[in-house]
């Protein structure tokens, strides 16, 4: 389970960046005590207000746009503080991620399934890092994202925990690690230079198609990158939305990695509760893959001109929503994996003959 350890380490590295954000806010005149008070209010889930000094700066700097930058820093710090309360990290199996990337675009997603996130504010470590080019020979790498929330306060969205009772929408927070022309992370005060893309997963109504959700996320992500479009980013966001929906299904395949500490110990230290997402399901998907020796081709016996069953294939994976409860008023969502059809009986297995000693 070494990848689970990688997920835990990546999450802690990004969380450490919240101290860099706090230093930036202090540098523009926000007292450290106000930042500490704000974090304490976030932890309690209380009705909080932005630090008075930062609110004053918002009025002074509104014209030149720096308020938006400071506000983004503060929102990111609050989201990372939410994650730090529970320190949950999911490590996504590569084969499960591939299946989620193939889900049908016309699958209908109900908004209320997003209330079933198993853990508060998890970090999701994707199956691989996506790196794309930036200006001046630099590049940006994305390995995962945090799932937090936003709620409305005086009709204005403010960041909160994904499990806050008044949470309005879920938010995907993508840490972007910046690399120099030499391929190494750019150093910022002894830590990698990290920026963030904050994407709100919003519904226009009670339901939306998967294609609409993905298109909305991709559009907002491109806007934060100055309109840049990359095929790698599109695949990344499609996988990310698929993973989010999968963990909100009725029975996500989550297996706790060994070595984690109790919730109380995690709050006080740096230990992270890491989970393998798709630990069993990914193995099952791999076992379904047909060995070459069993494939039916046109020149197989009886193959040419003969009436045959459909060739062995996978039925496309999809999300399926069921109505449950009294009056069928509630909904639950299940993920139906790519089903093996007509010949996908699993990989060849060795014959094992027990021998008495």
> For 164-218, how does the pLDDT look when each residue is reduced to its tens digit (9 = 90+)?
888 889 999 999 988 988 888 887 766 778 888 888 888 888 888 888 888 888 8
Return the DSSP state at 170: E
As a whole number of angstroms, the distance between CA 351 and CA 357 comes to 19
Return the DSSP state at 29: T
Q: Which residue has the higher pLDDT, 266 or 236?
A: 236
Query: Tens digit of pLDDT for each residue in 42-92?
Result: 666 555 555 555 554 444 444 444 445 667 777 888 888 889 888 999 999
Q: What is the dihedral of CA 86, 87, 90, 91, to 10 degrees?
A: -160
pTM as predicted = 0.78
Give the DSSP H or E segment for 95.
helix 94-100
For residue 80, how many C-alpha atoms fall within 13 Å in the half-sphere facing its CB? 23
As a whole number of angstroms, the distance between CA 232 and CA 19 comes to 30
């Amino acid at each position: 389970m070494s990848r689970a350890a990688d997920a835990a380490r990546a999450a802690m590295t990004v969380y450490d960046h919240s101290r860099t954000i706090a230093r930036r806010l202090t540098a523009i005149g926000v007292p450290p005590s106000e930042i500490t008070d704000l974090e304490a209010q976030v932890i309690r889930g209380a009705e909080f207000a932005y630090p008075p000094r930062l609110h004053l700066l918002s009025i002074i700097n509104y014209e030149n746009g720096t308020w938006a930058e400071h506000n983004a820093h503060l929102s990111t710090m609050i989201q990372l503080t939410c994650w730090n309360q529970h320190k949950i990290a999911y490590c996504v199996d590569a084969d499960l991620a591939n299946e989620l990337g193939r889900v049908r675009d016309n699958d209908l997603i109900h908004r209320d399934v997003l209330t079933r996130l198993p853990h508060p504010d998890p970090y999701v470590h994707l199956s691989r890092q996506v790196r794309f080019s930036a200006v001046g020979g630099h590049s940006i790498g994305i390995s995962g994202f945090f799932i937090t929330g936003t709620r409305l306060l005086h009709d204005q969205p403010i960041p909160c925990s994904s499990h806050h009772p008044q949470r309005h929408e879920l938010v995907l927070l993508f840490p972007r690690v910046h690399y120099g022309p030499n391929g190494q992370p750019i150093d910022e005060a002894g830590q990698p230079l990290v920026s963030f893309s904050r994407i709100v997963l919003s519904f226009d109504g009670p339901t939306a198609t998967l294609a609409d959700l993905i298109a909305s996320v991709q559009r907002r992500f491109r806007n934060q990158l100055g309109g840049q479009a990359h095929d790698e980013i599109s695949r990344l966001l499609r996988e990310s939305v698929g993973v989010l929906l999968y963990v909100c299904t009725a029975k996500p395949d989550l297996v706790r990695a060994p070595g984690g500490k109790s919730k109380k110990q995690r709050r006080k230290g740096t230990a992270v509760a890491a989970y393998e997402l798709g630990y069993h399901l990914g193995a099952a998907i791999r076992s379904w893959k047909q060995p070459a020796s069993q494939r039916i081709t046109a020149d197989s016996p009886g193959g040419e001109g003969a009436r045959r069953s459909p060739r062995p294939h996978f039925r496309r994976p999809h999300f399926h929503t069921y109505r449950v409860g009294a009056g069928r008023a509630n909904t639950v969502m299940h993920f139906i994996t790519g089903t093996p059809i007509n010949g996908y009986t699993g990989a060849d297995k060795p014959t094992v003959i027990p021998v008495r000693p």
